[in-house]
Amino acid sequence: MYYKIISKISKPLSPEILHKLFLFSLKLRIFKKEKNFSNLRTEVFGKSFENPIGLAAGFDKNADAIPGLFDLGFGFLELGTVTPMPQLGNEKPRVFKIPEYEAVIQRLGFNNRGVEDFLRNLKNFDKKKNQILGINIGKNKNSEDNFSDYEFLYDIVKVHADYITINISSPNTPGLRDLQKKENITKLISRLPSKTKTTFIKISPDINDRELDDICNIVLDSAKIDGLILTNTTISRQNLYSKPIKNSWKIEETGGLSGPPLRGLSNEIINRVYKKTKGKIILIGVGGVSSGKDAFEKISLGCNLVQLYTSLIYQGPSLILNILKELSYLLKKNNLKNVSSLVGTNIKP
Ligand SMILES: Cc1cc2nc3c(=O)[nH]c(=O)nc-3n(C[C@H](O)[C@H](O)[C@H](O)COP(=O)(O)O)c2cc1C
């Protein structure tokens, strides 16, 4: 309904202009509502989360709308991906909506205003204890050394973050996903400072089982990495052929696919990782979450926290409250006291 109305009145506007308008409306703080679900409170890496539903990286790349995003009801926000220097990203058009699947294909390529601007915004934000912030860091397209951007960013953002995410899984920066290979990831971790901040690595759903097992082993052995964010967008289009699409040329566009067609793929990865790591590392599940049931499923598969992005585009500001209501109800219905009692149980919603 929300998407039908918005797409009718905004037909001539590109997805990127619409996104800017959304961020602008968040800055006006018009969505503030009271959201309090005691059974959704959860404790992860020593921090108290009001609820386990977070905003995924990429929505607020420059930390422009932090208070307005918390107004929507999120339990935590992941800001970024931020790079050291500002960069424009790829040529436009580069974001394609596929309403038939409530999905998006995009190849933005880490467009952002750079870390200086990002930190200025963060310094202006009066952070409360329960407003958990993650900062997602990435490398500039033209940086000469694959690791130095991460080393540099880690150091300067850490005082502002409750956790840091090392993003080596976006499909839109050439060569970035090669950093997921065993030798590279080991080298990257060795370049990070010894443990100062809760740290996650964000992984692509397109890696094979061996690469995934290698990553699990590395994280299990590493004192510097606390967990994984599963997953980024996919370059696969396998789940976009079950029904006809009006502008089917969009499927062929290069870029990462997100939304419901990613859900199954992301859940398979979560399932495999949880079976291998057995609760010894923290998992944040992301990919195709658009309801309380989807969030329940990811937690039940082993995630401690959940994130979303694409469903917010299609369902609008009321989405988070709806998810929180449904998740809270589903916990009660299954006689579960709280979120942590659901983690890894494999209970079906
Ligand atoms: C327009 C757009 C931009 C994104 N930008 C980033 C980004 O900068 N960094 C990142 O780690 N992930 C980025 N993502 C991926 C999301 O954080 C998330 O992993 C993915 O979209 C799957 O979740 P969803 O199905 O709920 O959207 C982006 C996704 C979209 C749709």
Give distance in angstroms: CA of 144 to centre of ligand 1.
25
Measured CA to CA, the distance from residue 86 to residue 156 in angstroms comes to 16
- Which of 13-22, 25-34, 336-345 is predicted with the least confidence, judged by mean pLDDT? 25-34
Instruction: Indicate the fold that domain 2-341 takes in CATH.
Output: TIM Barrel (3.20.20)
* Structure letter (DSSP) for residue 234: B
- Report whether residue 234 contacts ligand 1, using a CB cutoff of 6 Å: no
- Using one digit for the tens of pLDDT, what is the confidence trace for 115-162? 999 999 999 999 998 999 999 999 999 998 889 999 999 999 999 999
> Would you name the residues annotated as active-site residues?
170
Give distance in angstroms: CA of 55 to centre of ligand 1.
10
Give distance in angstroms: CA of 332 to centre of ligand 1.
31
- Using one digit for the tens of pLDDT, what is the confidence trace for 19-45? 999 998 898 888 876 678 999 999 999
Give the number of the atom of ligand 1 that is nearest the alpha carbon of residue 231.
19
> In sequence order, what DSSP letters do the residues of 89-117 get, joined into one string?
-SPSP-EEEEGGGTEEEE---S-B--HHH
Threshold 0.85, pTM exceeds: yes
Which residue's CA is the nearest one to ligand 1's atom 18?
232
- Report whether residue 136 contacts ligand 1, using a CB cutoff of 6 Å: yes
Measured CA to CA, the distance from residue 152 to residue 36 in angstroms comes to 38
* Residue-range domain boundaries for the chain: 2-341
